[in-house]
Amino acid sequence: MKTKYKALTIWITGASSGIGEALAIAFAKQGARIILSGRDNEKLEAVKKRCKHANKHIVVPFDINDVSQAKEAYNSAKVQAGQIDWLINNAGISQRSLIMETDEAVERQIMETDYFAQTRLTRLVLPDMIEAGGGKIVMISSVAGLLGTQYRGAYGAAKAAIHMWANSLRAELHEQGIEVATIFPGFIQTNVSVNALTGDGSAQGTMDEATNKGLTATAFAKQAVKALTKGEEYIIIAGTKEKLATRVNQLSPPKLYKLIRESQVR
């Protein structure tokens, strides 16, 4: 059944840049109304202007880690949009530090942003979706959530956690019309590595070589829209090496981790 995007309102977090920005532009091109969220109102307004039919879209800035702001943002989004059909949980932060050099407070910060903030916002949205007869929740996990690698211990754990939570949500709410999809990006050309937290909580501030050579955010969004339109629930969007690694992991985890130990993943 073809997705009727012109009838959909899609809420995207982390929409001020990178993957979120690209998804907003791509779904707006399909005719959907977009609710753009992030912390920077000025950047969100700039992305809105780049979306097709800019005047129909809505900007709702808030800090996803702030419980009260999340509730206010949902109420604001609901009042302005009337109904939210899809929620794309894209906001997040990465990591570039070895486990033994990472403060526990930093690990908690990553888990708060990449796991608890996502589940919190989803629980806010779900009751109205269920009452309306259905909706779609999209979690942006990571290939790092499927494969543990150096320098991403807490990040990989948080992304694996959101993947497993999404699996449980899918099983629990299928009969209520809730669809759940999880996307696993590989290396994508965004500022994710520039903003990634180091062991003391400061930003790395530089672009990883692997990230710089990854898929463009536009290419990622194109594949994501195609997969979600087809109703896919488990979506890996990555380069050849990352996809191969996920296949090797399915066949022989010990072989994969031998390769990982010998590779330069930072």
Which residues are designated catalytic?
155
At residue 44's C-alpha, the angle toward residues 59 and 96, to 5°, is: 125
Question: Tell me, what amino acid is at 213?
Answer: K
Question: Tell me, what amino acid is at 12?
Answer: I
Strand ranges inside the chain, DSSP E: 9-12, 33-36, 58-59, 86-89, 135-140, 178-185, 188-189, 215-216, 234-237
Contacts of 52 (CB under 8 A, 6+ apart): 25, 28, 29
For residue 167, give both structure tokens.
């699996």
Rounded alpha-carbon distances, angstroms, from residue 170 to 54, 177, 180? 33, 10, 5
Question: Tell me, what amino acid is at 24?
Answer: A
Residue from 22, 162, 146, 151 nearest 92 by CA:
162
For residue 55, give both structure tokens.
């005047």
